[in-house]
């Protein structure tokens, strides 16, 4: 005959205490892990709206960049196209036909507009050098309203 162990509860108190403690630790650590992942993920989710940037102060005295050859062609073409087709008011249609025409033009036809563009670019470079010299020397023009209040 074999001896049988007495029927006590499902587990002995020493085993259940140890395993429940391990179980609690496992739960706590998994909660901590979830919390830490939440903390890591929150900064990624937060900026749904981009922070508003401060407006950049534009230099009003700075020379404006020159137009390209295509834009000089566009000005001429738009006038001519509107005279020929007064019913078309859409800039989209005018721009489309202008682009198609520009692509089909030969270099010899475009030279006129390239010359105008290079001329304007040279003027821009001259104006920029003058502007940078003024800015470096500190002789940039203050507006009259600022100088009146500085006294």
Q: Are 115 and 72 in contact (CB under 8 A)?
A: no
- pLDDT tens digit sequence for 116-139: 999 999 999 999 999 999 888 876
Whether the pLDDT of residue 88 is over 80: the answer is: yes
Confidence of residue 151 (pLDDT cuts 50, 70, 90): very low
Q: Is 59 left (phi over 0), alpha (psi -120 to 50) or beta?
A: beta
For the chain, helix (H) and strand (E) counts, in that order, are: 5, 0
Cα 10 to Cα 7: distance, rounded to the nearest angstrom:
8
Confidence check: pLDDT of 145 > 50: no
Domains of the chain: 69-139 (1.10.30.10)
- Dihedral (CA of 21, 26, 29, 34) sign: negative
Compute the distance between CA of residue 137 and CA of residue 139 in angstroms, rounded to an integer: 5
pLDDT: is 60 or 133 the higher one?
A: 133
Taking the model in full, what pTM does it have? 0.52
Query: Could you tell me which residue, 131 or 7, shows the higher pLDDT?
Result: 131
Q: Which of 122, 124, 125, 115 is nearest to 69 (CA)?
A: 115
Name the average pLDDT for the chain: 75
């Amino acid at each position: 005959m074999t001896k049988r162990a007495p029927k006590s509860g499902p587990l002995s108190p020493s085993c259940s205490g140890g395993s429940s403690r391990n179980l609690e630790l496992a739960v706590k650590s998994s909660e901590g892990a979830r919390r830490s992942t939440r903390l890591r993920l929150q900064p990624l989710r937060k900026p749904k709206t981009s922070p508003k940037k401060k407006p950049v102060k534009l230099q009003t005295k700075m020379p404006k960049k020159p137009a390209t050859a295509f834009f000089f062609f566009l000005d001429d073409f738009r006038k001519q196209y509107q005279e020929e087709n007064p019913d078309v008011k859409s800039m989209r249609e005018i721009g489309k036909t202008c682009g198609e025409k520009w692509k089909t033009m030969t270099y010899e036809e475009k030279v006129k507009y390239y010359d105008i563009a290079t001329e304007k670019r040279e003027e821009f470079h001259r104006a920029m050098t003058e502007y940078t010299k003024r800015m470096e020397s500190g002789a940039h023009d203050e507006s009259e309203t600022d100088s009146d209040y500085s006294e």
